[in-house]
Amino acid sequence: MNTTVDSAGQLNEIQTSSETPKEAAGPITAAERILTLDVLRGFALFGIMFVNVHAMVHPDAWFDIAWSTLSAGDYGFEAFKILFTQGKFYTLFAFLFGLGFAVQLDRAEKKGVRFAGRFFWRILLLWFIGVTHMILIWDGDILNTYAVGGLFLLFFFGCKRGLDRLVRRFSKKRDKLPRWTALVVSFLLIFGLFGGGYFAFQGQIAAVEDLKARAVAGEELSEEEQERYDRIVHRESEAGRAEQAEQRAETRAVYTDGSYLDTVEFRAGRFANRAISGPFWLVIAGIFILGAYFGRNNFIGRAAELKGGFKKLLWISLIAGLPLTSLFLYVNILSEHETGFSILRFAGFFLKTASGLAFALFFVAAITLGMLGSAQRWLKWFAPVGRMALTNYIMQSIIGTFFFYGWGLGMMEHFNNGLELVYMITIFAFQTWFSIWWLERYRFGPLEWLWRSGTYLKWQPIRKAAVTA
């Protein structure tokens, strides 16, 4: 048995015994899926909603928490979110995306069909979906970031193919690079960038301090240096902090009182800043490669055989993740009054990434092991939502923005942490029911169907009655 997946993490199981080398590419059937991967994706969607709902209720300050003003209950709730959700679930989704890339590649190789061109086209479609989501619905979209990270993944795949050819040409013992090299590249991308970023950041701090010292000493500055010094002084002044507070108030006013067109115009004006993730794309690509390593080795498909290995992964990731995420919480509390890009915020992003990766692997191991035992009967309720991951992800944004923003029901000002939790459980329960209802009648979720049809440039059959044996 081999696994295959579409490039957004639409994970499936393929029975390859009847495949011929030149079998045409095409979407797989519902009977060819791996339930564990659907469960993982559905579980990740619930965790993503846990974080995103808070960002919808607080559009002016997504993750900035005024810790010193919180009640004991709210303090505990915010701490729980940072410890066990923030940074964990988009990482899990990215891991599944990379796993999907690998097993989709495996399927294409076995069928003898071209892979890179079709994957590139699918990624462009995903980017378009993400940008549309970001501008028309909610600017917390992650799909466009995944799409750009997917292009980096495709680039690294091409590089590996070239290096494999060199190995075949000059090595008598190997015909390709060993698979563990993917782990090296993955961790270099995820954490190597932080090392370089730290030294670059320290250099910026030194440059700023030198600029301040020269200005205080009365040394004449160039026009460019003077402009930079004035920006620094303004940002750190009372007027600068008041300006930032005014910008936050303006953001909240748009979403509490503005029309739908007002919110679209506002998001479009911030599109460039939101869409350009810089080095974060490479971090995502590193997570993709780690997932691809799991996919190429078919670890999930061989879970029963590798049960001992998954137990080790469970404990190692938990032992590493708990102190990392605890430090992330501590740094987050310390940086409450930080503005701009400070060393505390830099440390917070590093700890968020490291703890997110550790917990993503913990969730993979825990759910995989759970699906081998009696817990499967409870975990499988996540699977219908996971089978329609793209549809349910966008649906969460549509429902959330209508429910909270002023152009809809305008409930943003009336929500606290307890009501957020009730809302999330209610919406996820509805999505579970809807996904079960839909999949009893159709092969794919509505957006999955549109994406597949766009990928193959042909309308795919969607009704189950239209599928022939």
- Residue 149 CA to residue 277 CA, distance in Å, equals 10
pTM over 0.75: yes
Q: Which residues of the chain have pLDDT under 70?
A: 1-33, 195-202, 234-237, 240, 277-278, 337-342, 466-469
In angstroms, the Cα distances linking 95 to 36, 158, 192, 355 are 14, 20, 18, 14
Residue 223: per-residue pLDDT: 78
Residue 33: per-residue pLDDT: 61
Q: Give the model confidence (pLDDT) of 319-377 as tens digits.
A: 999 999 999 999 988 877 666 566 777 788 889 999 999 999 999 999 999 999 999 99
Give the CA angle between residues 445, 450, 456 to the nearest 5°: 120
- For residues 285 and 157, the answer to whether their CB atoms sit within 8 Å is no
Looking up tokens 């071209």 gives 114
* Secondary structure class of 10 (helix, strand, coil): strand
In angstroms, the Cα distances linking 219 to 212, 215, 398 are 10, 6, 55
- For residues 344 and 334, the answer to whether their CB atoms sit within 8 Å is yes
- For residues 350 and 194, the answer to whether their CB atoms sit within 8 Å is yes
Question: Left, alpha or beta for 164 (phi > 0: left; psi -120 to 50: alpha)?
Answer: alpha
Give the CA angle between residues 172, 109, 365 to the nearest 5°: 90
Contacts within 8 Å (CB) and 24+ apart, 114-123: 116/154, 116/157, 116/158, 118/25, 118/455, 119/7, 119/150, 119/154, 120/151, 120/154, 121/455, 122/6, 122/7, 122/451, 122/455, 123/7, 123/147, 123/150, 123/151, 123/154
The tokens of 56 are what? 């919808």
